[in-house]
Amino acid sequence: MAFLLIASLLFVADAVVSPEGAAQRGDRITVSTGRLLQLAESYRLLTGVSPTTAELQNLVLDFVDEEIAYREAIDLGLDRDDTVIRRRLRQKVEFATLDTASIEAPTDAQLGAWFDAHRPRYRVPERRALRAITFLDEEGSALRRAERALQRLGEGTAATALGDRTLLPETLPLTTREGVARQLGEDAAAAAFAAAPGRWVGPVASVYGAHLLRVQTSEPPRQPRFEDLRQQVLEDWTRDREAQELEAFRQALRARYEVVVNWPETGDPRVAATAGGPSR
């Protein structure tokens, strides 16, 4: 039904977008059947129903107004020196390049060889599960209170009876050193990954105050097998090949242009200011 409606509008649309005299001025805007179908389908996806005749006419008029504004903006040079537009156009060119690039699927042998060459990328680092007790820094008392709490732990006091209530985690599941650093700070991560499992260590200062830490369990670093990561390796290989295609495309384009950079003199004070140096 929607296709019949669109077909019935083709003649109307042509009258709308092709006024008399436009062809002579070279300003003709042609809304193709494919564009009409796209407008109608976009409307249907957005609203759940196909557009009526009047609605489709309005969609066509809106598209025409957009096309006219686009052409006028280009004629006026409004696209120039606009960072957002320049970046968007660059993205579209690169996306189009990747769409037309013929990247053949790798064989298992090729993918396996690529995995071997990039093994460090897939190495799983050491991970540790932690229990943490945090003391907020109230008037500089955090370290002192943490030291007293460490003594009480040695005397048999339960960990749940110690520390301050905070939004920081009391337990961390198996986590990398970088993950612990993001949660509790770099000093806490260093202490946790240097400590023997099962013992409370600290206190360790952080921006939050002070922490006592105990390593519950640890998992040594390991190197996964290719067979366990095949899909991820394929995705990484594909991204790598796409990056190579884009770089080759960029280099080919650069070769078509003469690039002249008018570098300022090294004594120019603007250079020093830009580089963070003293400005005279």
State the pLDDT at residue 188. Answer: 92
State the pLDDT at residue 256. Answer: 86
Domain residue ranges of the chain, discontinuous segments joined by +: 2-80, 82-121+229-280, 124-219
Q: What is the pLDDT of residues 159-168, one digit of tens each?
A: 888 888 888 8
Q: What is the pLDDT along the chain (280 residues), one digit of tens a residue?
A: 444 444 444 444 444 444 444 444 457 888 888 888 888 899 999 999 988 888 888 888 888 888 888 888 888 888 887 888 888 888 888 888 777 666 778 888 989 999 999 999 899 999 999 999 999 887 778 898 999 999 998 888 888 888 888 888 889 999 999 999 998 899 999 999 999 999 999 899 988 889 999 999 999 999 999 998 999 999 999 888 888 888 888 888 778 878 777 766 766 565 455 445 444 4
Whole-angstrom CA distances from 137 to 142, 144, 150, 206, 214 are 5, 10, 16, 9, 20
* Fold entry, domain 124-219: Chitinase A; domain 3 (3.10.50)
Has this prediction a pTM greater than 0.75?
A: no
Q: Where are the alpha helices (DSSP H) in 76-134?
A: 83-100, 108-117, 119-122
